[in-house]
Chains A and B, each alone.
Chain A
Amino acid sequence: FSDPGGPLHLQIINFNFETVQVTWNASGYSGTNLTFLYKLRSNEMYGQCPNYILQQGRTAGCLLEAEDDGILYFSIRNGTQPLLTKSQWISSYLKPDSPKDLNFQWHEEAVTVTCSDLPHNDLLYEIQFKSTFDTEWQSEEGTTCNVTIVGVDADKCYFFRARVKTMESTYGSDTYPSDWSEVAHQQRGERRDSCQERKLFPRFILVSG
């Protein structure tokens, strides 16, 4: 978002429809306390930000309770002069919660990873996995948190992690993937505290006299 008085770089994050964080980088207004006015319905009056985020003692953002999936009407002002006035669906900036409590069901050379679905439509659950023999994570995705990964060797020790993404048709392209879940370790169908990373030592050491 840019404004004749200088660029006002804005970031909006909707944390799982619980809180919405709007932050701005007002390099053109350093030393100024910008004010954030907002409303959640078009027929309401603008209200002052209840919870400013400060940086070096200056306002740099606002943290709001997200009541529902609706439109946020807001205005950022320098004194009485509006620098930016916008209205946006807060869902456009959704960052879902990260998945918790991954569960594993091992079967013949396959494992089904499950966790509890978030209460929002049209999300994608991404499961990443690698064994101690792999250097890169591999990914599988599902529209629910019930993803089966085939071709795994139960004897190997595996790392698993999960995150949630949104579908563009339902949320747009300005959302954020969730943070990754904690890494889970599994071997022979059981949970492990860790997997020993395999250091690649040469198998044969040539000893010459």
Chain B
Amino acid sequence: TYNFADCDFEKIREKYQKVIFPALEGYMSGIKSTESNHTVYCGDRPGCLAEIKHLTFSSTQECPLLAKEILTKTNAILTHHCPGYSGIQINNTQAMKKRKKREVTANKCLTQVSNLIELWRHFSRFRRNKS
């Protein structure tokens, strides 16, 4: 597994604010993340990025695949700002098939996206000297 310790955290933080947060917030369509339980924790910046990668690209019965926009943007940012990280192969046909299924389960991904927002938020709150 890739160790995210050498990533450019400040650049990733900036990209989260500008690119990822609007996409995640749009997905929640007005539902507050405090309306669901927060169950996923991360203890430092590399750990947060590892959890974020896992939660973004993991597939569950309930939530087969997150919106392609979230997948591609997260993949691009991690690949760009984490030396040696090769990213995840997002297979178009796989995404298309699962997106058809996802129409039904869109709201089933809300808890996953809510936890994802909280992980990104926690990542953003780490002070520069406290990695």
Q: Which residues of A are at the interface with B, using a C-beta cutoff of 8 A?
A: 41-42, 69-71, 86-89, 91-93, 119-122, 167, 169-174
Are B38 and A169 closer than 8 Å at their CB atoms? Answer: no
Are A87 and B37 closer than 8 Å at their CB atoms? Answer: yes
Please report which residues of chain B, range 3-51, place their CB below 8 angstroms from some CB of chain A when the two chains form the complex.
16-17, 21, 25, 32-34, 37-39, 41
Are B124 and A170 closer than 8 Å at their CB atoms? Answer: yes
How many A-B residue contacts, CB cutoff 8 Å? Answer: 59
Known: A92-B34, A172-B33, A174-B32. Contact between A87 and B125, CB under 8 A? no
Measured between beta carbons, the chain A residues less than 8 angstroms from B32 are 172-174
Are B39 and A69 closer than 8 Å at their CB atoms? Answer: no
Measured between beta carbons, the chain A residues less than 8 angstroms from B125 are 69, 91, 120-122, 170-171
Q: A65 to B33, alpha carbons, bound, how many Å?
A: 24
Chain A residue nearest to B119 (CB atoms) is A89
Please report which residues of chain B, range 42-77, place their CB below 8 angstroms from some CB of chain A when the two chains form the complex.
none
Q: How large is the interface on B (under 10, 10 to 19, 20 to 34, 35 or more residues)?
A: 10 to 19
Which secondary structure dominates where chain B touches chain A? helix
Are A87 and B39 closer than 8 Å at their CB atoms? Answer: yes
Question: What's the minimum C-beta distance from B36 to chain A, rounded to whole angstroms?
Answer: 9
Chain B residue nearest to A167 (CB atoms) is B17
For this complex, 10 residue pairs linking A to B, each with C-beta atoms less than 8 Å apart, are A87-B37, A87-B38, A88-B38, A91-B121, A92-B33, A121-B124, A121-B126, A169-B16, A171-B121, A172-B117
Partner pick for A174 among B16, B34, B127, CB 8 A cutoff: B34
Q: A97 to B37, alpha carbons, bound, how many Å?
A: 27
Measured between beta carbons, the chain B residues less than 8 angstroms from A41 are 41
Q: A169 to B125, alpha carbons, bound, how many Å?
A: 10
Chain B residue nearest to A169 (CB atoms) is B21
Measured between beta carbons, the chain B residues less than 8 angstroms from A122 are 17, 124-125
